[in-house]
Amino acid sequence: MSVEQERDRAVAGRARQNVFAGIDMDRMAERRDDRLWVDELEASADSHFLVLDSEGMAFSAPDDERIAWMTPAMRSERFGDVPATLLGIANGRAYFTLVVDEVHAEIFTALSHARRVGLRDAGLLFPTFEAGLFAYAKGITHWQRQTRFCSSCGSPVLLVASGHRAQCTNADCAHMHFPRTDAAIIVIVEHGDACLLGRQRGWPKGRYSTLAGFIEPGESLEDAVRREVREESGVEVAHATYHSSQPWPLPASLMVGFTATARTTDIRLRDDELEDARWFTAQQIVDGMKSGTLAVPPPLSVSYRLIEHWLALRGVDLGELTGHKQA
Ligand SMILES: [Zn+2]
């Protein structure tokens, strides 16, 4: 294997380790408009429906840490008027999602002995595929909820393509709306033997994390890395390199992870951004975590992966410190 191939493989592997990323599914984008075909799939006895409540919580089975699926039979008997969105096909089975109101959420809870679970908890509890599917379902249904009226002319929109597009109902406008994703960068900046971590007001005591922020119009990802780091900490970035990305539908983001090298070290905080930012050596992170004065974000996030990666290059296993072992 060439150096390039090895590097490509390492990068691909990293993204798949991020929670919610890398689900193995054919989204069937080219067939979503075939209403008859989608109807047939919806009625197929093997199809699975991922149920969400109006707050975007899912339902987990009582005895294990998995999704409580709604069956097509249960749907047609009790929930037939609730429209479903095709997520895709995996291992020959079709997966849909649907959002139920509070009355139907209670009925489903009782029928399935299910309990409600939020995406953050599910990310650490559910198997990879189910956690990723929940994130996908939460993201697309959030966009559907937010897209009721045409942003061009103000007329109501109609969901088409099994929920993946919204068509303006005003024939003179007919604008087509697509689900949107808001990209944000997240970056571990290093200088010499130290990395830059910051904390926001209101975070749990002692928690520090990598810097992050949304991309603005007219910016490349690298531009956003430089601007965010400068705005939040006053530190100037020399180089930024892509690390991995993660779907983050809370409510509609894609986190794009970077490693970066600083060319200045002076920290200047702005009032409205971070409460504190500091340079930490690997040893300071180890000592801080062992003594309980320093904490990193939960293993759910890209920030955890970036810190883990940075420490691993210095011979430190973050999983040993947090008790979280890589699956
Ligand atoms: Zn319109």
Work out the pLDDT band at 87, boundaries 50, 70, 90: very high
Q: Is the pLDDT score of 178 beyond 90?
A: yes
Per the omega criterion (within 30 degrees of 0), is the bond before 251 cis? yes
Do 30 and 109 belong together in one domain? yes
In a domain, 325, yes or no: no
pLDDT above 70 as % of the chain? 98
The CA 173 to ligand 1 mean position distance, Å, reads 4
Do 171 and 208 belong together in one domain? no
49 touches 84 (CB < 8 A): yes
Do 203 and 287 belong together in one domain? yes
In a domain, 323, yes or no: no
In a domain, 100, yes or no: yes
The CA 177 to ligand 1 mean position distance, Å, reads 9
Q: Tell me which residue range forms the domain holding 283.
A: 182-318
The CA 55 to ligand 1 mean position distance, Å, reads 27
Do 134 and 163 belong together in one domain? no
Do 139 and 8 belong together in one domain? yes
The predicted pLDDT at position 48 comes to 97
Do 229 and 285 belong together in one domain? yes
Strand segments, DSSP code E, in the chain are: 48-52, 58-60, 85-90, 93-99, 115-117, 157-160, 165-168, 176-177, 182-191, 194-199, 211-214, 237-248, 253-262, 276-281
Do 12 and 136 belong together in one domain? yes
- 324 three-state secondary structure: coil
Do 186 and 176 belong together in one domain? no
The CA 155 to ligand 1 mean position distance, Å, reads 5
- Report pTM: 0.92
Residues 82-109: what's their mean pLDDT? 96
The CA 183 to ligand 1 mean position distance, Å, reads 26
Tens digits of residue pLDDT in 194-249: 999 999 999 999 999 999 999 999 999 999 999 999 999 999 999 999 999 999 99
Tens digits of residue pLDDT in 12-61: 677 678 999 989 999 999 999 999 999 999 999 999 999 999 999 999 99
The CA 151 to ligand 1 mean position distance, Å, reads 7
In a domain, 167, yes or no: yes
The predicted pLDDT at position 267 comes to 97
Q: Is the pLDDT score of 327 beyond 50?
A: no
C-alpha to C-alpha distance for 59 and 48, rounded to whole angstroms: 13
Do 114 and 157 belong together in one domain? no
Tens digits of residue pLDDT in 263-298: 999 999 987 779 999 999 999 999 999 999 999 999
In a domain, 324, yes or no: no
Do 245 and 123 belong together in one domain? no
The CA 165 to ligand 1 mean position distance, Å, reads 13
C-alpha to C-alpha distance for 61 and 59, rounded to whole angstroms: 7
Q: Is the pLDDT score of 11 beyond 80?
A: no
In a domain, 327, yes or no: no
Amino acid identity, position 272: D
Domains identified in the chain, total number = 3
Do 134 and 91 belong together in one domain? yes
The predicted pLDDT at position 204 comes to 93
The CATH number that applies at residue 273 is 3.90.79.10
The predicted pLDDT at position 8 comes to 73
In a domain, 43, yes or no: yes
Do 135 and 257 belong together in one domain? no
